[in-house]
């Protein structure tokens, strides 16, 4: 018999750019939120990327998309991931894996994070097969040429994307 979990809450963080959140991200969020007591979904400002949406817009879209998931907290940070984890008593970093191409970068990042914070573990979750090809950048590229991404991003994101590209064109 499994014992009832006592004491310390199991907290995880799912970090990303979420520029914008896709159904692939949302699928990982739903699955991880069933495993952990609390899941922090955090928009990280990435110095190497120039985002389409501001951090505030990305947080807003995530909050809306995660409505009803009681143990999911959305926020943003510009600092170091492991510092955020330590500050909030988070033991696990969740990463989504789509293909071998994700693995090389994520593997190095996981080892660096382990070096910086040995008490925090990285856990990789496989994408669901229907989202294998899906990335925020592909979504943006498709919409920029007038393509339809219905079913690939949460419904609240669709008008925001259209609006951005209308203004950009
Ligand atoms: P991207 O711009 O590549 O979509 P993000 O930085 O927003 O990336 O991604 C955050 C996390 O979500 C990463 O761990 C990434 O591997 C994962 N992820 C992104 N898209 C998917 C997907 N379709 N299925 C599973 N995981 C995904």
In a domain, 149, yes or no: no
Which residue range is the domain that position 33 belongs to? 9-133
Distance 121 CA to ligand 1 centre (A): 18
Spatial separation of the C-alpha atoms in residues 120 and 92, rounded to whole Å: 6
20, with CB counted inside 10 A (0-12, 13-18, 19+), is: buried
In a domain, 107, yes or no: yes
pLDDT tens digit sequence for 131-153: 999 999 999 999 999 999 999 99
| Catalytic option among 30, 73, 88, 98 | 98
For a pocket test of ligand 1, which of 98, 101, 113 has the largest count of ligand atoms closer than 8 A to its C-beta?
Answer: 98
In a domain, 35, yes or no: yes
Split into its structural domains, the chain has a count of 1
pLDDT tens digit sequence for 48-61: 778 999 999 999 99
| Catalytic option among 49, 87, 108, 162 | 49
pLDDT reported for residue 87? 97
In a domain, 155, yes or no: no
Q: Residue 70 belongs to a domain with what CATH number?
A: 3.40.50.620
CB 93 within 8 A of CB 113: yes
What residue owns the CA closest to ligand 1's atom 3? Answer: 135
């Amino acid at each position: 018999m499994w014992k009832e979990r006592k004491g310390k809450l199991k907290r995880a963080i799912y970090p990303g750019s979420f520029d914008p959140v896709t159904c692939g991200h949302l699928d990982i969020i739903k699955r991880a939120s069933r495993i952990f007591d609390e899941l922090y979904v955090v928009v990280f400002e990435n110095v190497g990327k120039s985002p389409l949406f501001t951090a505030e817009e990305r947080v807003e879209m995530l909050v809306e998309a995660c409505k009803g998931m009681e143990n999911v907290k959305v926020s943003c940070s510009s600092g170091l991931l492991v510092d955020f984890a330590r500050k909030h008593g988070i033991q696990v970093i969740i990463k989504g894996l789509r293909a071998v191409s994700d693995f090389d970068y994520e593997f190095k990042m996981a080892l660096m994070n382990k070096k910086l914070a040995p008490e925090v573990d990285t856990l990789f979750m496989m994408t669901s097969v229907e989202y294998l090809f899906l990335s925020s950048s592909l979504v943006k590229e498709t919409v920029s040429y007038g393509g339809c991404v219905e079913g690939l991003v949460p419904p609240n994101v669709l008008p925001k994307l259209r609006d951005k590209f209308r203004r950009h064109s």
